[in-house]
Amino acid sequence: MKRVYGGLVVLALVAVTGLFAKKSRKPYVETAPAYRIEGPAGAPITISEFSDFECPACRAAEGPRKQLLALYGSKVRFIFKDFPLEHIHPWAKSAAIAAECAGEQGKFWELHDLLYANQDQWVEAKSPPEAIEAYVKSLGLDNAAFKACLKDPKTVALIDADVKEGQERWVSATPTFFINGKRFIGGLQLSALGPIWIDKILAKKHG
Amino acid sequence: MDKETEVKSSPEKRASSSKAFRFISVFARLLIGIILIVAGVSKLAAPKEEFALIIEAYNLVSPSTALTLATFLPWLELLIGYSLLTGYLLRLFTVASGILFIAFDFALFSLKIRGIELPSCGCFGASFHPEPKIMIGVDFVLIILSLIIFKVQPIWALDLWAGKRNNHGE
């Protein structure tokens, strides 16, 4: 009989610990500079995207991403993370650095949108950095501060930290989205399966 | 030292070395138990598809098997971990832990042989990110410790409280 009690004790410990672990799945704690975050801090849904400005699939995912954010409004907090795939996209990191520096002056999303909307042009340009610079100028940023930011090692460190985080989270393709910790690779998965997952989380919270 | 004294001290020496081994065995149970519980909790704290993706990256099982493993393995780790900590069905769960670490080492070693580079071993979900080559060594140590637990007569175990006789007939 004592052996049965012992077994029950062990099973109870396993069950309590396992359920506690599952319950501890809070809205995923994600960090990024404030200019790369959209939506309220207390939103029940957190979507983070590991993206590469030179990646065509990331550009294609922009439509589904914006639709999803419009659909759920203030229930969603969106966080952009840099994951430049330098071995296939030689200018992706330069673009990411430029976007960080635009963010320093409050224009991250503006440059983000320009870089994706005109991806074919600047990627194919004779000098992609010059093409990016033209977009930066069009945003009316403080040129001296922008250039100083480009050279600041802290800017590169921000991107490197995102890349390291992505690697630790086994990101191997862009765009990779995480909705409260669950992974969706590419715009198609995001638009097809994302709402199902979000509705499930919201239903649990309200149920 | 004359022969008589030597003969007298031998059983004492054996007794003290056996006592030391018993404490090493308890330490090993604590260490393996905690490692397995932390590993299980870390994996359960994320959607199972995340762990399935890691298993798939090892390229040893099909995606559906990876999802099944991802569902059950964290619970198995918790069960073995708590059984070792409490000393419940100790020999059975020590064998289970040994087999688990041998399987982990096989998977990690096969990565080396096949030239697959992974960012981390994925053993602790999103909590820690040890490199596969480091975990090969760690798992080997844990296999040795499992062997010690298996061989040494247990102390501070639920099995003793439940009156289960150990393999030493005590």
The lowest-confidence range among A26-35, A96-105, B114-123 is: A26-35
Flag if A10 and B162 touch (Cβ within 8 Å). Answer: no
Chain centre distance of CA B50: 23
Q: Which two tokens stand for residue A67?
A: 């639709």
Q: Does residue B130 form part of some domain?
A: yes
**Domain that residue B90 falls in:** 16-161
pLDDT at B169: 44
* Residues above pLDDT 90, as percent of chain B: 52
Nearest to A21 among B44, B54, B122 (CB): B44
Give how far the C-alpha of residue A58 lies from the chain's centroid of Cα atoms, to the nearest Å.
Answer: 11
Question: How much is the pLDDT for B109?
Answer: 92
Task: Read off the pLDDT of each residue in B76-97 and give the average, rounded to a whole number.
Answer: 95
Mean pLDDT of A36-64: 94
Above 80 in pLDDT, residue B159? yes
Give the model's confidence band at A198: pLDDT under 50 very low, under 70 low, under 90 confident, else very high. very high
* B154 or A116, which is more confident: A116
Half-sphere exposure (Cβ direction) of B94: Cα atoms closer than 13 Å:
25
Minimum mean pLDDT range among A25-29, A135-139, B77-81? A25-29
pLDDT confidence of residue B9: 56
Residues of chain A whose beta carbon is less than 8 angstroms from a beta carbon of chain B are 2-3, 5-7, 9-11, 13-14, 17-18, 20-22, 24-25, 167-170, 181-183
Q: What is A25-206's CATH superfamily? A: Glutaredoxin (3.40.30.10)
Write out chain B residues lying below 8 Å of A11, CB-based: 79
Give the nearest partner residue to B46 out of A10, A17, A181, using CB atoms. A181
User: Is residue B2 situated within a structural domain?
Assistant: no
pLDDT at B7 over 60: no
State mean pLDDT over B81-90. Answer: 94
Residue B167 placed within a domain = no
User: How large is the average pLDDT for residues A44-71?
Assistant: 95
With respect to residue B6, please indicate whether it lies within any of the assigned structural domains.
Answer: no
Please tell me the predicted confidence (pLDDT) of residue B165: 54
Asked if A9 lies within 8 A of B40 by C-beta distance, the reply is no
Based on the structure, what is the number of domains in chain B?
A: 1
- Model confidence at A207: pLDDT above 70: no
Q: Which helix (H) or strand (E) holds A82?
A: strand A76-82
Closest Cα of chain B to A78: distance in Å? 19
With CB atoms and an 8 Å threshold, state whether A13 touches B88: no
> Would you give the distance in Å from CA A136 to the centre of its chain?
22
Q: Give, in order, the Cα–Cα distances in Å from B132 to each of B9, B61, B109, B123, B136.
A: 47, 18, 8, 9, 6
Phi, psi of A195 (to 5 degrees): -60, -35
Asked whether the predicted pLDDT for residue B153 surpasses 70, the reply is yes
Q: What is the pLDDT, as a whole number, of residue B1?
A: 47
Q: What is the band of A169 on the pLDDT scale with cuts at 50, 70, 90?
A: confident
- Give the mean model confidence (pLDDT) for residues A44-57: 95
Does the pLDDT value for residue A166 go beyond 80? yes
The overall average pLDDT reported for chain A is 91
ipTM beyond cut 0.85: no
Contact A22 B126 (CB under 8 A): no
Q: Is the pLDDT at B168 greater than 60, yes or no?
A: no
Contacts of B70 in chain A (CB under 8 A): none
Q: What percent of chain A has pLDDT over 90?
A: 75
- In B45-62, alpha helices (H): 48-57
Distances (CA, A) of B87 to B3, B17, B18: 41, 21, 18
Q: Is residue B7 part of a domain?
A: no
Residue A148 DSSP symbol: H
**Peptide bond between residue A175 and the one before it cis (omega within 30 degrees of 0):** yes
In a domain, B33, yes or no: yes
Write down the pLDDT at residue B25. 92
- Mutate which of A5, A10, A83, A197 to test chain B, going by most B C-beta atoms within 10 A? A10
Nearest neighbour of A10 by CB, restricted to B49, B86, B161: B86
- Which residue among B45, B119, B158 sits closest to A21, beta carbon to beta carbon? B45
Is A68's pLDDT higher than 60? Answer: yes
